[in-house]
Structure 1
Amino acid sequence: MLTVKAKPIRLLLVDDHEVVRVGLKTVLSQQSGVAVVGEAGTMAAAVQDALRLKPDVILMDVRLPDGSGVEACRDILEQNPNTRVIFLTSYADDDSVLAAVVAGAHGYVLKEVDSAALIRAIHLVAEGRSILDPTVTERALRWLRGLGTAPHAAGIEQLSAQEERVLALVAEGKTNKEIANALGLSDKTVKNYLANVFQKLRITRRAQAAAFFVKRQG
Structure 2
Amino acid sequence: MINVVLIDDHMIVRAGFSQLLSLEEDIQVIGEFGSAKETRQNLPRLKPDICILDISMPDENGLSLLQDIPSGIRCIMLSVNDSELIVKKALELGAKGYLSKRCSAEELIQAVRTVYAGGVYLMPELTTKLVSSRNNSPIEQLTKREREICELLIQGFDAKEIADKLNLSFKTVHVHRANAMSKLNVKNNVELANLLNPQIA
TM range (shorter): 0.5 to 0.7
Distance between the aligned counterparts of 1:52 and 1:174, measured in 2?
A: 30
Please give the per-residue CA displacement for 1:58-91, whole angstroms capped at 9, x wherever unaligned. Answer: 0111110001111111111xxx221100012211
Distance between the aligned counterparts of 1:30 and 1:57, measured in 2?
A: 17
Aligned letter for 1:94?
E
Q: Where in structure 1 do 4 or more consecutive aligned residues deviate above 6 Å?
A: none
> What's the secondary structure of 1:64's corresponding residue?
coil
Distance 1:47 1:144, change over 3 A: farther
| Unpaired runs of at least 5, structure 2 | 138-150, 157-180
Aligned residues with identical type, % of pairs: 29
Aligned letter for 2:128?
E
Matched, 1:137 2:130: no
Matched, 1:81 2:93: no
Distance 1:144 1:73, change over 3 A: farther
Aligned letter for 1:48?
Q
Please state how far the C-alpha of 1:143 moved relative to its aligned partner.
5.4
Aligned letter for 1:68?
N
Matched, 1:64 2:54: no
Listed as ranges, the matches of 1:135-174 within 5 Å are 135-141=125-131, 163=155
Matched, 1:176 2:166: no
Give the TM-score normalised by the residue count of structure 2.
0.68
Aligned letter for 1:125?
V
| Unpaired runs of at least 5, structure 1 | 1-7, 148-158, 165-169, 181-193, 198-205, 214-218
Distance between the aligned counterparts of 2:84 and 2:155, measured in 1?
A: 22
Aligned match of 1:47? 40
Distance 1:142 1:44, change over 3 A: farther
Distance between the aligned counterparts of 2:129 and 2:92, measured in 1?
A: 14
> What's the secondary structure of 1:36's corresponding residue?
strand
Aligned match of 1:92? 82
Aligned letter for 2:188?
N
Residues 4 and 52, structure 2, Cα contact 8 Å, conserved in 1: yes
Give the TM-score normalised by the residue count of structure 1.
0.63
- C-alpha RMSD over aligned residues: 2.8
> What's the secondary structure of 2:109's corresponding residue?
helix
Aligned residues: 157
**Of residues 103, 107, 112 in structure 2, which corresponds to 1:117?**
107
